[in-house]
Amino acid sequence: MIEIERKFLVLSTAFINEAYTKKRIVQGYISSVPERTVRVRIKEDKGYLTIKGESTNNGTTRMEWEREISLADAEALLSICENGIIDKIRHEIKLGKHIYEVDVFSGENEGLIMAEIELESENEVFEKPYWLGQEVTNDERFYNAYLSKKPFKSWWI
C-alpha cells in the first residue's frame, strides 16, 4: 500500500510514438486535503476509488489504497466531488523495466504534459528518456489534487 513515484515535466510529444496504450481519464476529489486525498476516477469504462496519505518531505512516497468500483458508482461519486475535474489522456511507455505514465491534460490544465514513474525504492536507478524534462516530484502545484483547484493555465507563464 506504499506508492513511490517521481514526476517530471515532458519536453515534447515525441513520446506518443513510443506509447503502447492510450486511455482517457476523468477524475475528481471527494477530499483534496494533503493529509488524505480521496479520488474518484473513470479510466475508459472502469471506475476506481483511491485514498492517498500525505507525501514524505521529498514528495516521492505515500500510502495509497485503490479499488475498482462500478462505472455507475464512479459516475455518481463524481457528481458530488469538489469543484475542479481533471481530464487527461494517459499514454504508457515501457522503458527498461519501468513504465512511464505520461498524462496530456485538457480543459483548464491544457498545455501541461507530465510523466510519472513508479519505483520500488526512493533511490532506485531508472532510465530517463530524451523527452523527459524538469523533475517536479516535490512541487505541490503538479499534484492532481492541486491542479483540480488551481488549474495550470491560471499560474503557468
Q: Which of 20, 29, 100, 130 is catalytic?
A: 29
Looking at residue 83, what is its pLDDT? Answer: 95
CB distance 74 to 48 below 8 Å = yes
Report how far residue 69's alpha carbon sits from residue 93's, in angstroms, rounded to the nearest whole number: 26
Active site residue 29: yes
Per-residue pLDDT of the chain (157 residues; tens, 9 = 90+): 899 999 999 999 999 999 999 999 999 999 999 899 999 999 999 999 999 999 988 889 999 999 999 999 999 999 999 999 999 999 999 999 999 999 999 999 999 999 999 999 999 999 999 999 999 999 999 999 999 999 999 998 6
Q: Which domain holds residue 11?
A: 2-155
Give the chain's domain count: 1
CATH number of 136's domain: 2.40.320.10
Q: How many residues does the chain have?
A: 157
